[in-house]
A and B are shown apart, each in its own frame.
Chain A
Amino acid sequence: MRRYLLLASTAALIAFASAASATTLDDVKKKGFVQCGVSQGLKGFSSPDDKGGWTGIDVDLCRAIAAAIFGDPEKVKFTPLSAKERFTALQSGEIDVLSRNTTWALSRDTALGFDFRGVIYYDGQGFMVRKSSGVKSAKDLDGASVCVLMGTSTSLTLADYFRSNNMKYEPITFEKDDEVVAAYESGRCDTYTTDRSGLYANRLTLKDPQENIVLPEIISKEPLGPVVRHGDNQWGDIVSWTLYTMLNAEELGLNSGNVAGMRESDNPEIRRVLGTEGKFGEGMGLSDDWAYNIIAKVGNYAEMFDRNVGKDSPLGIPRGLNALYTQGGIQYAPPIR
């Protein structure tokens, strides 16, 4: 019932919104900042630092979009949103882009009237076990007790996985994230399952993080990416190509440190990305140094990944699937030309 209501109101709103306003880019330029929807606190993705500013890869993407448009990564305002609020906030135009660890799935892409614009982080459900248990693979988990969050798709994926592998398990469900972690810590279950980024993040709150390992198996696909409203393709392109630029920069060896000296590089690909050759910003209504600004002010994908969730952060998540396709991962961006 609620879903139909939501759908009906969405449809009405999209008609309304597109009639009422000019392009999102015009609106953004007029108000002078990008309004970006983030989470209400998720380690590595969007969380407050000591000074009250936001950090995380979802946050950095918003900063990169602002850098592409204004040349200034600080011209962005963040709206922390709960999981329930996030879609209405985007539909109603309260935010311009939703960058809130949202899984790309068909129903969201089509029925809700949204566009997913690339994948900033390939996540997937995984398992954490104690080192002392000697378990090396999820296939060894037959008969295990599993701590899992109640009423989420996580528990459905878990059931599917064990059934398709003909294994038995005993689910122990909890209402809240920290209850699950506490139960696992106290030894009530043999393993704990949620998205792998969450496993790494919550491992930090365990008494002895090194005594716990995340198993290599990934049992669900959770591609997380930025979301925009259907129907404004120019705005969607800006969001997509901001992300692609960061990936291309990593591939071409451009980073925030060396980009200033690379403008006059002989490499035609680099010259095109940095706006020395060609006018690629024009097609999106941006200036030609849009990509330069992204790389100089926010950095390339590797920098963003490492400082927020990767090796330079307490989370220490390995690149894995999120490595470039040239390095064994699946992050692959279309070229800028």
Chain B
Amino acid sequence: MSFVRDTYLVETPPPGMNVGVLGWLRGNLFSSASNTLLTLFGMYVLWTVVPPLIEWALLDAVWQGSGREACLVEGAGACWAFVAAKFGQFIYGTYTFEERWRVDLAFLAGALTVGLLMIERMPGRRYIAVFGLLIYPVIAYILLTGGRFGLPEVETTLWGGLLLTFVVASVGIVVSFPLGIVLALGRRSQMPVMRVLSVIYIEAWRGVPLITVLFMASVMLPLFLPAGTNFDKLLRVLIGVALFSSAYMAEVVRGGLQAIPRGQYEAASALGLGFWQANLLIIMPQALRLVIPGIVNTFIGLFKDTTLVMIVGLFDFLGSIQVNFSDANWATPQTAATGYAFAALVYWIICYSMSRYSMRLEARLNEGTRRA
């Protein structure tokens, strides 16, 4: 029995080329000739783009200064001093300086409410949601417009910057969601009048570009109203945006409704549930879960579309950046590029956070149906 080993061999490590950094590189970047070529090409592109970008945005950038002279130095990169000087305007527009704490407070309260709602094990989450949907808008409205409780009034014509972007986007989102659900149900309804009305509404709003809607609201509407009635431009825009986006939301929700098998409706009926009960308890929870990516897609699109309010003379975040390009005290070759870079960064951060949150939400809601 001498040919049987009675001791274990000492374990040897796997070949050096298959583990660690080298192994990962070989497996992922240089696994074949074409992959190697693509990797090299990608590295070349990064090499040509990234260093000049860093040089422009960070190394050569001008961070401080009170006017264009600061950014006119030879070889100056991004003019961040411009963003610093105009930062207040980018955030609040021309909102009265002494009253800006009200915007901060409204924003903080909103952020806190949303933040608490995101924590899944939060006690009393239901009440927070009710507060967020019913009470918070009233508080925010009073804080922002003022004219009550000793707060001086701040007209909406002074609103601007990120504040205006958030107001338009959040009103659009909050109003379009329930309205969209109702329209989607209407379009699938058995009642001919409901169905026809919903179809007409959805197709009419989807048939016109948002720019046209805003333009009608701001330019044509005053011509039809009696002279002297000046109803708030921002309100006109908010109504336009909300009605417009609810048509899109309706179609997204309808997609979810169509994916629910008929058996679910029949089961709900068999349990003795009426139309609203069946929809609220059985159908909608399943349908909405299916279309979370579509809903978030619409929200992100809406958030970015808010910038079209520039057409009607409201300065949203991007608009208040652009209008400041016309300040001769900051006219430099780098001003516009810096302003747009800043805008892109802020939009990206906000939209990316929205999409990350939606992915988390999906993962949590789909735990029961997830493929292993």
Contacts and interface: CB of A to CB of B under 8 A. Distances in A.
Interface of A: 9, 13, 16-17, 20-21, 40-44, 46-53, 77, 79-82, 84-85, 88-89, 91-94, 178, 185, 201, 204-207, 313-315
B333 A85 contact: no
Contacts of A13: 223, 227
Interface in B54-68: 68
A21 B229 CA distance: 11
Contacts of B324: 41, 47-48
Given A16-B227, A201-B328, 15 more contacts: A20-B228, A21-B228, A40-B315, A41-B326, A43-B328, A43-B331, A47-B323, A49-B327, A53-B94, A77-B157, A79-B157, A82-B312, A82-B313, A92-B223, A315-B328
A219 B147 CA distance: 53
A17 B157 CA distance: 23
Interface stretch (B84-92, B126-134, B241-249): B84-92
Which of B310, B322, B324, B335 has most chain A Cβ within 10 Å? B324
B326 A52 contact: no
B230 A94 contact: yes
17 contacts: A40-B315, A46-B326, A47-B328, A48-B327, A50-B85, A52-B89, A52-B92, A77-B157, A80-B315, A85-B219, A88-B219, A88-B222, A88-B223, A92-B222, A204-B332, A205-B331, A314-B331
Interface of B: 68, 85-86, 88-89, 92-94, 97, 157, 218-219, 222-223, 225-228, 230, 310-313, 315, 322-329, 331-333, 335-336
A43 B226 CA distance: 35
Contacts of A89: 222
B320 to A, nearest CB: 8
A39 B236 CA distance: 21
B313 A81 contact: yes
B311 A82 contact: yes
B328 A52 contact: no
B336 A178 contact: yes
Contacts of A48: 89, 94, 323-324, 326-327
A52 B325 contact: no
A204 B326 CA distance: 11
Contact of B93 (A51, A52, A81, A85): A52
B1 to A, nearest CB: 87
A85 B313 CA distance: 9
A19 B89 CA distance: 40
Nearest to A51: B97
B227 A41 contact: no
Which of B85, B225, B228 has most chain A Cβ within 10 Å? B228
A201 B328 CA distance: 7
Nearest to A16: B227
Contact of A41 (B86, B93, B325, B333): B325
Contacts of A52: 88-89, 92-94, 97
Contacts of B336: 178, 205
Nearest to B96: A52
A36 B332 CA distance: 29
B227 A204 contact: no
A91 B312 CA distance: 16
Nearest to B225: A92
B202 to A, nearest CB: 28
A136 B182 CA distance: 69
Nearest to A50: B85
A204 B313 contact: no
Nearest to A315: B328
B227 A17 contact: yes
Contacts of B313: 40, 79-82, 85
Which of B88, B219, B223, B310 has most chain A Cβ within 10 Å? B223
Nearest to A17: B227
A41 B86 CA distance: 14
A41 B331 CA distance: 12
Nearest to B324: A48
Contacts of B311: 82
B329 A40 contact: no
Contact of A207 (B225, B226, B323, B333): B333
Contacts of A88: 219, 222-223
A17 B222 CA distance: 12
A310 to B, nearest CB: 11
Given A79-B157, A80-B313, A205 B327 contact: no
Nearest to A185: B333
A315 to B, nearest CB: 5
A156 to B, nearest CB: 25
A17 B89 CA distance: 36
A42 B322 CA distance: 11
A96 to B, nearest CB: 12
A205 B312 CA distance: 27
A85 B311 CA distance: 9
Contacts of A315: 328
Contacts of B312: 82, 85
B68 A314 contact: yes
B327 A47 contact: yes
B100 to A, nearest CB: 10
Contacts of B86: 50
Given A42-B326, A52-B89, A80-B323, A204 B223 contact: no
Given A41-B325, A201-B328, A315-B328, A20 B227 contact: yes
B323 A93 contact: no
A20 B225 CA distance: 12
Contacts of A84: 219
B327 A43 contact: yes
Contacts of B328: 43-44, 47, 201, 204, 313-315
